Amino acid sequence: MSQTDRKQLKRSVFIPAFVIIMLAVIIGLVNNELLVSVARQLFYLSLSDFGWLYQLLAISTLGVTAFIFFPRQAISVWVGRTQNPRFRWRRPLPWR
């Protein structure tokens, strides 16, 4: 791939995140207690308002993990017992 074919990153996209991080660094250096109290208040606010989302994310992650951990059962449910899976493991897994 030549240099002319490569897409350039838009540096202006990173400016807001950089400004927020630099602001947090400056506040942390000047008044560490203020930074800690603001971060703690934001965490408690997100936990109190979005606690249901944390629980939903944990349960869905558990479901996806169980789906991946039992691939034969998952494939037979989604594809059917008569069809072969589209993608196979390159090496047999130790528990098979």
Q: What is the domain range of residue 39?
A: 14-78
Q: Does some domain include residue 91?
A: no
Tens digits of per-residue pLDDT, 1-44? Answer: 555 667 788 888 999 999 999 999 999 999 999 999 999 999 99
Q: Does some domain include residue 27?
A: yes
| Predicted structure pTM score | 0.47
Average pLDDT over residues 74-87: 58
Mean of all residue pLDDT scores within the chain: 79
Q: Does some domain include residue 4?
A: no
* Confidence class for position 94, pLDDT limits 50, 70, 90: low
Q: Does some domain include residue 56?
A: yes
- The answer to whether the beta carbons of residues 19 and 12 sit under 8 Å apart is no
Q: Does some domain include residue 83?
A: no
Tokens for 88, please give them.
Answer: 């196979």
Nearest Cα to 68, choosing from 93, 48, 50, 46? 93
CA-to-CA dists, residue 1 to 4, 7, 11, 16, 42, angstroms = 8, 11, 22, 31, 45
Q: Does some domain include residue 53?
A: yes
Q: Does some domain include residue 62?
A: yes
Average pLDDT over residues 53-60: 93
Q: Does some domain include residue 67?
A: yes
Number of domains comprising the chain: 1
Percent of residues, the chain, with pLDDT higher than 70 = 67
